[in-house]
Amino acid sequence: MPEIKYKRILLKISGEALAGDLRRGLDFEIVNSVCRVVKQCADMGVQIGLVIGGGNFWRGVKDGADKMQRSHGDAMGMLATVMNAIAVADALEKHGVDARVLSAVEMNKFAEYFTRDTADHYLNEGKVVIFAAGTGNPYFSTDTGAVLRGVEIEADAILMAKNVDGIYSADPNTDPTAVKFDELTYDEVLARHLKATDTTAMTLAMDNHMTLVCFALKDPENIIRVVCGEKIGTIVKED
């Protein structure tokens, strides 16, 4: 069994990544491929917290912009993350992984209410904990929610699995001269306005000395590679 570098992780997955080529909804081939890798990590003894974005159903800032009040749009985004959390928990259970959905907003018909101690208890029992509904507040992204939960559960690192294979100097989809970084500090990300996470999330990570690793979910095995310390994607940490 390979050596584990990060024994307790917060894994953030974008909702769009789970939609695949469908762009909306869920591509269950992708969901199941991710769940198989999460199971491998859990079988290795890694304690796993999950945050899943809601962009495959609704993005408050993008889909509701200029059409509805921001708090209402963000509330819909939080509900989208709950739908994704329930779907992934169901898929994990089918793969033999005990999973629990903890929501920042009370909705006891669908999920347990989040407390830090409940999450810690489940993680220590080897359950995968899926954190839903972001921070429970409007004007905060799921990236910020991921960093917040990672700090609260005292994760060894936050793994940002996205559609891009790291942090670039510019958008690699539109700028062929964009350069990928292997390692950055929080200050460098903030000073250069790099699109790693939103500013609030990066500042929260910096204030709490939380290591971030940004990499592509296209190959779900990358999750295991990062957990074992392989240098892929971009790592953001202190000097």
Q: What is the CATH number of the domain that holds 229?
A: 3.40.1160.10
pLDDT over 80 at 2, yes or no: no
User: Does some domain include residue 1?
Assistant: no
| Residue 53 placed within a domain | yes
Which tens digit of pLDDT belongs to each residue from 127-159?
A: 999 999 999 999 999 999 999 999 999 999 999
pLDDT value of residue 1: 61
Q: How many domains does the chain have?
A: 1
Pick from 54-58, 94-98, 102-106: least confident: 54-58
* pLDDT computed for residue 66 by the predictor: 79
Assign 3-class secondary structure to the chain.
CCCCCCCEEEEEECHHHHHHHHCCCCCHHHHHHHHHHHHHHHHCCCEEEEEECCCCCCCHHHHCCCCCCHHHHHHHHHHHHHHHHHHHHHHHHHCCCCEEEEECCCCCCCCEECCHHHHHHHHHCCCEEEEECCCCCCCCCHHHHHHHHHHHCCCCEEEEEECCCCEECCCCCCCCCCCEECEEEHHHHHHHCCCCCCHHHHHHHHHCCCCEEEEECCCCHHHHHHHCCCCCCEEEECC
User: Domain residues for 170?
Assistant: 8-237
Task: Flag whether the pTM goes above 0.85.
Answer: yes
